[in-house]
Amino acid sequence: MLTVYPVLFILGLGAIWLGLNIAEEVYRIAVLFTGAILLVMGFVSAPSIIQIGSVLLLLGVYQLYIWQPKFNLFVGNEVEAVKTVKCIGSDCK
């Protein structure tokens, strides 16, 4: 029972990789759908510690790749836009 979920994961990833390389659209959709089903079956049959670990790993990867602004780049542009709007009159320099 311990080797079932890694085999399903490997088959699912292989099917998805193969599906991305197929040129025919109908076969591509069918193989990608099959790979997704195999990945879900592998995830469901995995022990709970593997499920929790993979979810935490995916959350960590998600946190690495989402855009998190360190500072606002648009503050300077907004200030300049406000200054140009205020300088419409004839007494502006």
91 within a domain of the structure (yes/no): no
For residue range 51-69, list pLDDT tens digits in order.
999 999 989 988 887 766 5
In a domain, residue 93? The reply is: no
Residue 47, helix vs strand vs coil: coil
* Percentage of residues in the chain having pLDDT higher than 70: 70
- To the question of pTM greater than 0.75 for the whole model, the response is no
Identify whether the C-beta of residue 40 lies closer than 8 Å to the C-beta of residue 8. no
Range of the domain at 10: 4-86
- 16-39 b/e (C-beta count within 10 Å ≥ 16 → b): beebeeeeeeeeeeebbebbeebb
| Domain total of the chain | 1
pLDDT tens across 22-31, in order?
Answer: 999 999 999 9
Residue 22, domain member (yes or no): yes
